[in-house]
């Protein structure tokens, strides 16, 4: 079983959209998939088929201290198992974050309870980095996907956090989302990002901007089914193919600090 965390240093970068899309596209490639919502916005369930924000989820267990989070597991029509975050009040959220701060292995222990085959994958949608939720996800991940729009502020904040992310996880990749090649400013931001990361991180994984993508979400359909010939659908399929190949090549991923 491989764990992948989707993080970003900017809001609205596309983490939840990519978590849900990759969960479905990997399930269609015959992988056993669990999608875990570790963002208090609690929106991943809506992407994966729930009509309303789930009141309970992994964070309810965190607050109640019973750790029986798997009681909130759902399965969608694509065969994706998913666990919502759950709706927390502000005081509950403070209590949850305090528990995460005091129990550094909480999420790793929860993920270790998931019974998936070796080829299975756990995708974790996180709160914006830095946060307790994202920090836990990064530390228990075999691969971190940094989702970033090619915008100056998003790229600058990612560059500032890349060292910490790479210290926490041996495998860090950048996924550029909402790419619009017609905008010069995006080309400049990408050039700045490329110069800052050097050859250490590939920027090959890119998903173009497509205004029809949020419309599919609103309709409850999958964009890559609605517009399979579009550039963004092609990009998402390519990203899923790349990830599927990476998973196939790394059934026993090595964590930072492990002996060679």
The entry of ligand ATP, Mg ion, none near residue 124 (CB within 5 to 8 angstroms by kind) is: none
CB of 241 to ligand ATP, least distance (A): 17
* Closer CB to Mg ion, 16 or 171, in the complex: 16
Q: Which residues bind Mg ion (CB under 5 A)?
A: 15-16
Nearest in space to 84 (alpha carbons), one of 152, 76, 92: 76
Q: Which residues bind ligand ATP (CB under 6 A)?
A: 8, 11-17, 39, 41, 128, 177-178, 207, 209-210, 213-214, 217, 232
The entry of Mg ion, ligand ATP, none near residue 139 (CB within 5 to 8 angstroms by kind) is: none
Give φ, ψ of 110 to 5 degrees: -65, -45
* Closer CB to ligand ATP, 214 or 248, in the complex: 214
Q: CA-CA distance, 169 to 51, in Å (whole number)?
A: 35
* Closer CB to Mg ion, 161 or 234, in the complex: 161
Q: CA-CA distance, 206 to 124, in Å (whole number)?
A: 19
Q: CA-CA distance, 145 to 205, in Å (whole number)?
A: 10
- Which residue is closest to Mg ion by CB? 16
**Stretch (H or E) spanning 149:** none
CB of 54 to Mg ion, least distance (A): 15
CB of 18 to ligand ATP, least distance (A): 7
3-state DSSP helix/strand/coil % of the chain, to nearest 5: 45, 15, 40
Contact assessment for residue 226 and residue 197, using Cβ atoms and an 8 Å cutoff: no
* Closer CB to ligand ATP, 16 or 171, in the complex: 16
């Amino acid at each position: 079983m491989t764990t992948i965390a989707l993080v970003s240093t900017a809001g609205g970068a596309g983490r939840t959209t990519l978590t849900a899309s990759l969960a479905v596209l990997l399930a269609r490639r015959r992988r056993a998939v669990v999608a875990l919502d570790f963002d208090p916005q609690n929106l991943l369930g809506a992407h994966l088929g729930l009509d309303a924000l789930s009141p309970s989820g992994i964070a309810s267990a965190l607050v109640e201290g019973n750790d029986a989070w798997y009681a909130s597991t759902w399965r969608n029509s694509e065969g994706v198992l998913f666990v919502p975050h759950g709706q927390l009040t502000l005081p509950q959220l403070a209590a949850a974050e305090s528990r995460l701060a005091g129990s550094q292995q909480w999420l790793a222990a929860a993920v270790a309870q998931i019974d998936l085959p070796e080829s299975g994958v756990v995708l974790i949608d996180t709160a914006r980095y830095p946060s307790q939720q994202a920090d836990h996800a990064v530390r228990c991940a075999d691969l971190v996907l940094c989702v970033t729009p090619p915008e100056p502020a998003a790229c600058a904040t990612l560059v500032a956090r890349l060292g910490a992310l790479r210290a926490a996880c041996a495998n860090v990749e950048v996924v550029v989302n909402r790419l619009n090649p017609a905008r010069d400013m995006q080309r400049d931001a990408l050039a700045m990002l490329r110069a800052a990361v050097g050859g250490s991180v590939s920027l090959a994984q890119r998903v173009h901007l497509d205004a029809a993508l949020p419309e599919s979400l609103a309709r409850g359909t999958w964009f890559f089914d609605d517009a399979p010939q579009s550039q963004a659908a092609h990009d998402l399929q390519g990203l899923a193919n790349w990830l599927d190949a990476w998973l196939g090549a790394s059934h026993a991923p090595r964590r930072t600090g492990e002996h060679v």
